[in-house]
């Protein structure tokens, strides 16, 4: 459990909060590149870490990410005209470049230099792997750009998607490092989802009392969950948690690898980014079809939005008959929405002072402690984990080992991203 004070510390991410300052130390995925498909296309509203911003692609194709509101009288620049190398407010014609500088105030003579006094907040952007990324921290402290394995793979090896989740970012992220719930909440899908069924991993999830071993890493945590396998051996699921919000999910057989990033929109909602990649082959059409229709870690979204088709307004399309018959343990369809439905049911920000944690929550306990330590340490100038690109070049894994072999030594190489080398999964 956490005190109310510590719960606020690890969940609140607005400008000036300790956690908000920490999260602004990292490069952040913001938009899919396809959301700004061409030069001078319509701008897009973005709320990120509680800040209301606008993204646009100028006439040269460069992306701007600036304060949503015109410096004149606060009009939303979502209404702006994207033209001739800048975004022009339709109210009185003030015009802004991608760096936030004001280049035209039609009512004032150019020789007055008034424009030079006006500048909106602007954050730098980089486009990589179909994603627009931004950095919101001090300009002179920008870290290396992320180096996750999937960022360097051919485009046909990777699928990236995002969805809106109506809960605080931390309770979503905590679900991503909780391997114990898989044997319960997802027990039906393990034997029906095309990306899981028929694997040894799905079979061994029948052991519903896993034991956890945690190893701190340069990025965050390596989380080992072991279950009984064949006599004298353990089935291990190794999850990577990389600060501040990345999770890498243990694979099933040689199906593709998966991961998430849980990025706060504000304190009561987040964007759940989903990454699926295969290190050594393109993703198949069948895999794409399954994922686009809510299979694996993905969800089907309402066309034209990033809101899931299954959502709290329709009670997550709860199927009580399927729940009672055992086809779905929770009655909600799809692994991702099973997670999201329960995380959203906790309320926008769960009150962790009321929890009763057990041994299978050790990864969550340690992750909270590391986030708190990093946020407070940053105030003293201590560099947090997960900024160096070397921390990103890792993989999740699943395997069976004799009971007397520690996973961290026996399979250390399998937890590294190695070019052209297949991942380890059963």
Q: In the numeric block, which tokens belong to residue 406?
A: 């520690």
Bigger pLDDT: 105 or 206?
Answer: 105
22-70: per-residue pLDDT in tens?
A: 999 999 999 999 999 999 999 999 999 999 999 999 999 999 999 999 9
Determine phi and psi for 122, rounding to 5 degrees.
-140, 140
Closest CA to 162 of 306, 357, 65: 306
* Domains with residue ranges and CATH for the chain: 38-141 (2.102.10.10), 149-415 (3.90.380.10)
Tens digit of pLDDT for each residue in 284-298? 999 999 999 999 999
Token duo for residue 293: 């229709």
Please, what is the average pLDDT of the chain?
A: 96
Please report which helix (H) or strand (E) contains residue 247, including its range.
Answer: strand 246-249
The alpha carbon of residue 93 and the mean position of all alpha carbons in its chain are separated, in whole angstroms, by 37
Model confidence at 191: pLDDT above 90: no
Cβ-based neighbour number of residue 178 at 10 Å: 20
Strands 158-165 and 131-135: unpaired
Question: What was the pLDDT predicted at 220?
Answer: 98
For the entire predicted model, the pTM comes to 0.95
- From 166, 162, 196, 192, select the one nearest 341 (Cα to Cα): 166
Give the Cβ contact number of residue 70 at 10 Å. Answer: 25
- d(CA 221, CA 245) in angstroms, rounded, equals 12
Position 50 scores a pLDDT of: 98
Nearest CA among 79, 87, 77 for reference residue 39: 87
Tell me the β-bridge partners of 101. Answer: 119
Alpha helices by DSSP H, listed for 346-404, are 362-378
**Higher pLDDT pick, 218 / 194:** 218
Interval 80-133: pLDDT, tens = 999 999 999 999 999 999 999 999 999 999 889 999 999 999 999 999 999 999
Residue appearing with tokens 């052991």: 207
Q: Is the pLDDT of residue 161 over 90?
A: yes
List strands edge to edge, sheet with 27-32.
27-32, 131-135, 125-128
206 band by pLDDT with thresholds 50, 70 and 90: confident
Question: What is the reported pLDDT for 336?
Answer: 96
- Provide the 8-state DSSP code for 197: T
pLDDT band at 192 (very low <50, low <70, confident <90, very high): confident
Length of the chain: 426
Four-residue CA torsion sign, 182, 184, 185, 186: positive
- Do 68 and 55 meet the contact criterion of CB atoms below 8 Å apart? no
The enclosing H or E element of 378 equals helix 362-378
Q: What is the pLDDT of residue 122?
A: 98
Query: What's the rounded mean pLDDT across residues 323-352?
Result: 95
d(CA 139, CA 227) in angstroms, rounded, equals 46
| Cis status, amide bond into 244, omega within 30 of 0 | yes
Burial of 61 (0-12, 13-18, 19+ CB in 10 A): exposed
Q: CA–CA separation, 304 vs 324, rounded Å?
A: 34
User: Which of 254, 269, 338, 325 lies closest to 297 in space, CA to CA?
Assistant: 338
Tens digits of per-residue pLDDT, 52-63? 999 999 999 999
């Amino acid at each position: 459990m956490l005190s109310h004070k510590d719960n606020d510390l690890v969940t609140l991410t607005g400008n000036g909060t300790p956690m908000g300052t920490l999260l602004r130390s990292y490069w952040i995925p913001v938009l899919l590149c396809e959301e700004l498909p061409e030069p001078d296309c319509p701008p897009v509203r973005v709320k990120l870490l509680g800040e209301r911003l606008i993204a646009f692609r100028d006439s040269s194709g460069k992306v701007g990410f600036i304060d949503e509101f015109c410096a004149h009288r606060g009009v939303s620049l979502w209404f702006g005209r994207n033209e001739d190398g800048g975004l022009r407010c339709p109210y009185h014609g003030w015009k802004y470049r991608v760096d936030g500088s004001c280049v035209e105030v039609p009512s004032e003579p150019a020789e007055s230099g008034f424009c030079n006094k006006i500048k909106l907040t602007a954050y730098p952007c980089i486009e990589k792997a179909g994603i627009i990324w931004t950095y919101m921290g001090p300009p002179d402290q920008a870290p290396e750009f992320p180096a996750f394995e999937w960022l360097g793979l051919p485009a046909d090896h990777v699928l990236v998607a995002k969805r809106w989740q109506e809960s605080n970012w931390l309770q979503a992220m905590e679900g991503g490092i909780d391997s114990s719930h898989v044997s319960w909440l997802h027990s039906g899908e393990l034997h029906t989802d095309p990306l899981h069924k028929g694997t040894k991993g799905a079979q061994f999830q029948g052991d519903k009392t896993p034991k956890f071993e945690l190893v701190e890493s340069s990025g965050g945590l390596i989380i080992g969950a072991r279950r009984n396998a064949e006599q004298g051996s353990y089935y291990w699921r190794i999850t990577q948690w990389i600060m501040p919000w990345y999770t890498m999910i243990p694979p099933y057989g040689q199906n593709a690898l998966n991961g998430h990033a849980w990025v706060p929109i504000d304190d009561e909602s987040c964007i759940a980014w989903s990454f699926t990649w295969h290190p050594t082959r393109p993703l198949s059409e069948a895999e794409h079809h399954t994922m686009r229709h809510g299979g694996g870690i993905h969800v089907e979204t309402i066309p034209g939005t990033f809101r899931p088709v299954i959502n709290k307004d329709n009670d997550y399309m709860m199927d009580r008959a399927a729940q009672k018959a055992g086809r779905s343990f929770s009655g909600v369809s799809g692994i991702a929405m099973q997670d999201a439905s329960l995380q959203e049911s906790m309320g926008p920000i769960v009150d962790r002072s009321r929890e009763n944690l057990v041994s299978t929550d050790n990864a969550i306990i340690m992750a909270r402690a590391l986030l708190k330590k990093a946020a407070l340490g940053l105030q003293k100038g201590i560099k947090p984990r997960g900024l160096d690109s070397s921390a990103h070049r890792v993989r999740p894994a699943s395997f069976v080992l004799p009971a007397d072999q520690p996973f961290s030594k026996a399979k250390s190489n399998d937890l590294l991203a190695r070019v052209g080398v297949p991942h380890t999964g059963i």
